[in-house]
Structure 1
Amino acid sequence: MIPAADPSPSPVSILDPNKAPQTLGEWFVGIPLRIILIVAISSIALWLIRRSIRGITNRVADGTPWLERGVLKPLGESAVGAVLDKANPLANARRAQRARTIGSVLRSTATIVVGGTAFFMILDTLGISLAPFIASVGVIGVALGFGAQSLVKDFLTGLFMLLEDQYGVGDVIDVGPANGTVEAVTLRITKIRDADGTLWYVPNGTMLRVGNKTQGWATAVVEIDVDYFADLDQVRSLLAEAAARVAADPVTGSHILGEPTITGIEKLSADAVTLRLKVKTSPAQQWEVARELRVAARRVLEQAHVPLAGQRDLMATHEAHVASQQRDPHDTPLDDIAHAHEAREAPATSSSDD
């Protein structure tokens, strides 16, 4: 005889994954707890990563950690450390700009990676198939890629530009349609202030070539057009004297890095001979040195009575006017001619004696 079945239900094992949980606590230990752990761990990991990136980039941007660590800490707190920190403000601004921009990129990348990983883990925990979702994301990504090619190009170009340190804040650059001083550099655009005060916003992806005029070192170039019949050997010696005067200046001379070079005849016309004076200078100081060289060259040429191109008659008139103010009232016109001739012969005589 077959025994009758027990009408009471059999107990459900909580270890059986195919059986539904019987209590709220058992249900919470399952999927909700996993999601909470994923969110908590990913949030803590993202916070630690972003904090580390921010700390490193801030130290690099400030430029102070090496003078404030270990045995170098007393130097960083001294007046010498302050002078070293302020020795090159343009370099400090460039370093800070690059560090903060790269730090922003790294923090955004960390957020995307950690957040995306946590999102996919939550979907997997909920039992949602990831294949259709990934396929949809891939299609959307391709569509956005085609629609935002210029934006992606700007970001990639800006990233490589920052990593390679092609230019930075304070540099004078030429990018074709705009040239001037760089005021700000981001991953997408570069802000350039030209000589007229116009602020140009140039997308990084549109820069086919960049000329940096203030990186490493520069050259001050001054071209002098002298009279066709001037003594070129005398003019070269006078230009060398002008360069020596500028080099002896305590302010401008500190920006000169080498000996001046005076080339031969650069241009020759019916009334002028062009000589070129070149001096190697510190970056971004070539224009100031060139201005001082022009002032010194004009002074020595005028003192030696060497006229510039087309100025022979004007120089003679000027010398006659100066002589008339210093003229002895008892002198005759013949005496004036003799004095003017002696004034012109004096520099040549002194040069031959040297």
Structure 2
Amino acid sequence: MLHAASTPTPSPSPTDLGPLPPPDPSQWWDWFVGVPLRIAITILVSVLVLVLLRWLIHRTIDRIARGYQSESVTGGLLKVDPVVAERRAQRARTLGTVLRSTASIVVGTIAVLLVLGDLGVDLAPFIASAGVVGVALGFGAQSLVKDFLSGTFMLLEDQYGVGDTVDFGVVRGTVEEVALRVTKVRDSAGTLWYLRNGDIARVGNQTQEWANAVVPVVVAPDTDLEAARAAVQRAVDAVQGDPVLGGAFLEPPTLRVGDAITADGVELSVSVRTRAAMQWDVQRALRLAARDELHDAEVTLVSA
């Protein structure tokens, strides 16, 4: 006797079981106060911290750029040296740019890592990849990194600034712009040189703080040295009494006789400490004044 094939019993459909229960509002609330809220708080705090840091940097840099110079005080009012003020402003602007960029990178990186952590992303591969990429970039851009690091330390140490007359060994001229990667220098011929900060091995700043104006005067060997000394001293007194150049003298001038004695003549040397960048004007004035005084004293001038 054949038996009828048994058919599987169909499973009840969702409609057969009736309508689905409504979602529990507490589950939605628990989800919202979990990951999304933590991400929103992380982003909000990061933005607030970044805005605060950039505001503090801007305020500090602006105060430095507008800083008073206490070197010369007249009538209770501070006078700002234009050269020094420009140096400070240039340094402040460059350092402010570096600090703002650094703050943005650091805060942004930390915020991204915190958000990825809240999303449950494994950060270990990202950190390892970032390390590999950083090493590759470090090897590929060594010269660029060297330029930026050298520029940063140069600015922090205030080795030179805009308006300084600087000798870099390969070129000598006036600094026109200072940046983190390159320094622009204009030489006496008018050529604008671009020097990479990482390639600068030495710096000779001739216009920082103070300078020495040295003027050698050579007279004939048979000259009355006392008369020559008196004539040069009158020239020094005339320049020191000048209303403009006299203010550049920081110390009393020194006059020496006999620094060098040769068959060609006897050397008299004038040395005076002057304000920065004023030594060349003082030297020119001393040479011209010494020539005139020696001529009036009928002293034979060999060279000056």
TM, length-normalised to structure 1 = 0.73
Query: Among residues 66, 73, 78, which one is paired with 1:84 in the alignment?
Result: 78
SS class of match (1:309) = strand
Which is further off, 274-283 or 26-35? 26-35
Aligned ranges for residues 333-348 of structure 1 at < 5 Å? none
Indicate the residue corresponding to 1:281 in structure 2: 274
What's the CA shift for 1:198? 1.5
Residue 212 of structure 1 aligns to which amino acid in structure 2? N
Match of 2:120 in 1: 127
Task: Show the counterpart of 1:226.
Answer: 219
The answer to whether the 8 Å contact 2:69/2:79 transfers is: no
Aligned to 1:292: 285
Letter in 1 for 2:87: R
Q: Tell me which amino acid in the other structure corresponds to 1:201.
A: Y
Select 1:40's aligned residue among 19, 39, 44: 44
Equivalent residues in 2 for 1:197-216, closer than 5 Å: 197-216=190-209
Instruction: Using the TM superposition, give the Cα deviation of residue 295 of structure 1 relative to its aligned residue in structure 2, in angstroms.
Output: 1.0
Per-residue CA deviation, residues 94-131 of structure 1 (Å, 9 max, x unaligned), is: 11111111111111111011100011011111211111
Pairwise mapping of residues 139-154 of structure 1 onto structure 2 (< 5 A)?
A: 139-154=132-147
Task: Sort the Cα spacing of 1:45 and 1:65 in 2 relative to 1 into closer, same or farther, 3 A.
Answer: farther
Alignment partner of 1:248 is 2:241: yes
In structure 2, what residue type is equivalent to 1:62?
R
Q: What SS is found at the alignment partner of 2:131?
A: helix
Paired position in structure 2 for 1:166? 159
* Matched AA of 1:42: S
Indicate the RMSD between aligned Cα atoms, in angstroms.
2.6
Gaps of 5+ in 2: 1-16
Distance 2:289 2:68 in 1: 41
Match of 2:59 in 1: 55
Question: Are residues 236 and 80 of structure 1, via their aligned partners in 2, closer, same or farther at CA, if it must alter by over 3 Å?
Answer: closer
- Runs (5+) with no aligned partner, structure 1: 1-6, 16-20, 67-78, 311-354
Percentage of pairs with the same residue = 51
Determine which of 89, 99, 105 is the counterpart of 1:106.
99
**Deviation digits for residues 165-201 of structure 1 (CA, Å, limit 9, x no counterpart):** 2221222111111112222211222221221122221
Contact 2:68 2:78 in 1 (8 A): no
For the 8 Å contact 1:171–1:182, the answer to whether it is kept is yes
Match of 1:301 among 257, 276, 294: 294
- Structure 1 distance, partners of 2:22, 2:241, is 102
Report the Cα distance in structure 2 between the residues aligned to 1:80 and 1:27, rounded to whole angstroms: 70
Distance (Å, rounded) in 2 between the aligned partners of 1:251 and 1:60: 30
How far apart, in 1, do the equivalents of 2:127 and 2:69 lie?
A: 44
The offset of 1:229, in angstroms, is: 1.6
1:14 shift after superposition: 7.5
CA deviations on 1:4-37 (whole Å, 9 max, x unpaired) are xxx899998787xxxxx6x5x6655443343333
Q: Is the 8 A contact 1:50 1:110 kept in 2?
A: yes
TM-score normalised per structure 2: 0.84
Contact 1:272-1:309 within 8 A present in 2 as well = yes
**Separation in structure 1 between the aligned mates of residue 75 and residue 267 of structure 2, nearest angstrom:** 47
Separation (CA, whole Å) in 2 of partners of 1:151 and 1:168: 21
Distance of 1:271 and 1:111 partners within structure 2? 68
Q: 1:65 to 1:218 in 2, by over 3 A?
A: closer
C-alpha distance in structure 1 between counterparts of 2:275 and 2:79, whole Å: 18
What is the CA deviation profile of residues 247-283 of structure 1, one whole-angstrom value per residue up to 9, with x for unaligned ones?
Answer: 1111111111222222233444433333221111111
How far apart, in 1, do the equivalents of 2:150 and 2:178 lie? 12
In structure 2, the partner of 1:176 is: 169
With over 3 angstroms needed to count, the CA separation of the structure-2 counterparts of 1:123 and 1:80, relative to structure 1, is farther
The number of aligned residues is 283
8 Å CA contact 1:178, 1:194 repeated in 2: yes
- CA–CA distance in structure 1, aligned partners of residues 69 and 205 of structure 2: 29
Q: In 2, Cα distance between the equivalents of 1:250 and 1:85?
A: 18
Structure with greater helix share of residues:
1
Secondary structure of 1:302's aligned partner: helix
Conservation of the 8 A alpha-carbon contact between 1:256 and 1:281: yes
Per-residue deviation, 1:141: 0.3
